[in-house]
Amino acid sequence: MDVDPRRLRVFLAVVRSEGVVGASRALHLTPQAVSQQIATLEDELGVQLFDRTRRRLAPTAVGLTLATHAERVEAELVAAGRAVAAATGRASGIVRIAAFQSAIRWLVVEALPIIRAEQPGVTPMVIELDGRGLDRPLRTGEVDLVVDERDGDQPEPSGRGIAVHLLRRDPYRVVALPSVARTLHGPRSLAGVRWVASPANTACDFPLQRLARLGRFEPDVAHICSYFPSILALVAAGEGVAIIPELALGDARAVEACSIAGLGARKLFALQRTSRRGTEPAVDAAVNALRLGPRAPAP
């Protein structure tokens, strides 16, 4: 019996997403279309592929067996794409790039024309996400490439079936009004200042905690913001000082950036799916463009 590879792709997306809705987002189809494809596949095979008595769709024993074969088919298709790309020097397809605001503005945007110039057959699509839990949409197939950030002291992202590429090291800077910046010469000089802080356990929270340990002070947090334009606006209004990475300094107005010993840097990574047959050539093209790096924005 013949099995349509397109239906196998839909089936595998449902398995990975543990449901029809997640698969529909990954495949850019309606939930009804996904359900219809699964029903047709089950009719063609004459078996039930999912246990529908649970809250989340779980594959039956037969479904798990089919999923294993479907992953092999997917790997072979990737290998075929790599072989064609190697023979012709050209990759093709849509690459969905998930990234957070500052990475989009100063890293991804500059990579887009490079992708189009070097690989005209590749169509990049940017999807803005908030930078947390990005591995799940990558695993379920909702996106093809993720730009992730980690503080330099955090472990690098990792996971089975995920290829990780270091894109760049992005030094942190303390930003303050010029009159305040002139008084900042080291960690201890930061004792007593008010802070526009990032949320706990985000990349920019780590350098503040490092400086607090080095300077032996407890940060006086006046405001907590996630997005750099908001942080910089509060600093410019005299509401405190803040820590942002160098990549975001292009948004700075009426503030001065200082390099303080102990600040460190965040690291930006590109994450993509991989299998026994390697990675997808179209996604490789996007990773290579991101690796070239943007021009450093002027503070």
Q: Summarize pLDDT for 194-220 with one digit per residue, the tens.
A: 999 999 988 899 999 999 999 999 999
Q: What is the pLDDT of residue 17?
A: 81
Q: Are 229 and 251 in contact (CB under 8 A)?
A: yes
Write down the CATH number for the domain with range 5-85: 1.10.10.10
Write down the CATH number for the domain with range 95-299: 3.40.190.290
Domains 5-85 and 95-299 share a fold: no
Q: What is the pLDDT of residue 127?
A: 92
Task: List pLDDT tens digits, range 270-297.
Answer: 999 987 778 889 999 999 999 886 654 4
Q: Give which of 105, 101, 107, 130 is closest to 268, Cα–Cα.
A: 107
Domain regions of the chain by residue span: 5-85, 95-299
**Residue 155 neighbours by CB under 8 Å, 6+ apart:** none
Strands of 141-286 (E only): list them: 145-151, 162-176, 194-197, 220-224, 242-245, 256-258, 265-273
pLDDT tens sequence for the chain (299 residues):
677 778 888 888 888 888 888 888 777 778 888 888 888 888 888 889 888 877 778 888 888 888 888 888 877 776 776 676 666 667 888 999 999 888 898 899 999 999 999 999 999 999 998 766 667 788 878 889 999 999 999 988 888 889 999 999 999 999 999 999 999 989 999 998 999 999 998 889 999 999 999 999 999 999 999 889 999 999 999 999 999 999 888 767 789 999 999 999 999 999 999 877 788 899 999 999 998 866 544 43
